[in-house]
Amino acid sequence: MSLAELRKRYPWPADKPEPEIIHPEIKGWFAGANKDVLRHLIENATGPRIILELGSFRGLSSKFLAELLQPGDTLICIDHWLGSEEHHRRDDWREVLSTLHQVFLKNLWGHRDQVIPMRTTTHDGLRELKKLGIKPDVIYVDASHDEYSVYQDVTDCMSFFPEAEICGDDWTRHGVRMGVTRAAEGWELLNVRGCSCWQLCHNEKRYLK
């Protein structure tokens, strides 16, 4: 496992970013059910723990995850920080997207010793972690929302990291439901919490009631 090598490849800047275009507060979409599932999975993992987030945006869920970390734990965030397809269709978002990566770094600056921001696609990032022998304990999937991308992300996670606990957001989106359901075929359980959070489970003991 080479977390040290990963940190060298994706270093933090020397100075805290101060983007010119920014929404000061960390806003986003992060439901209470998601928090409950993630807290449960992380607290039940043995340390030192590695948490992986696919899709971090401005860092709302990332900061929640970072605040759950104990000494020795690591949070890896994979995002290209270019925004999703739906963001580029909105005029009010296009200007904000140009500083999205800087905004994330600013919002997570206080946790930079334990957070590794991988600016790349989920497709490439997951393969890079696999090659480095890094094995996440918990994976939170919240990247693209189309069926194919979700299917690929979840399938890669299951294939590369079969022992990891995998959950994600946006169950209400048709593409997400279809992608997750396709990828989860053959697994014993697919648990849905509230209206937003989905969770793959290996067996009854991992089922969050």
What CATH number does residue 55 fall under? 3.40.50.150
d(CA 123, CA 81): 14
d(CA 42, CA 208): 12
102 domain residue, yes or no: yes
Would the pLDDT of 170 be above 80? yes
Q: What percentage of residues in the chain have a pLDDT greater than 90? A: 70
Q: Which of 88, 77, 71 is nearest to 7 (CA)?
A: 77
Domain count, the chain: 1
CA 179 from chain centre, in angstroms, equals 16
41 domain residue, yes or no: yes
The whole-number pLDDT of residue 88 equals 52
pLDDT tens sequence across 116-159:
999 999 999 999 999 999 999 999 999 999 999 999 999 999 99
For range 25-49, the mean pLDDT: 83
- Two tokens, residue 81: 């920080």
Q: Which domain holds residue 86?
A: 3-9+31-206
- Two tokens, residue 140: 């939170």
25 domain residue, yes or no: no
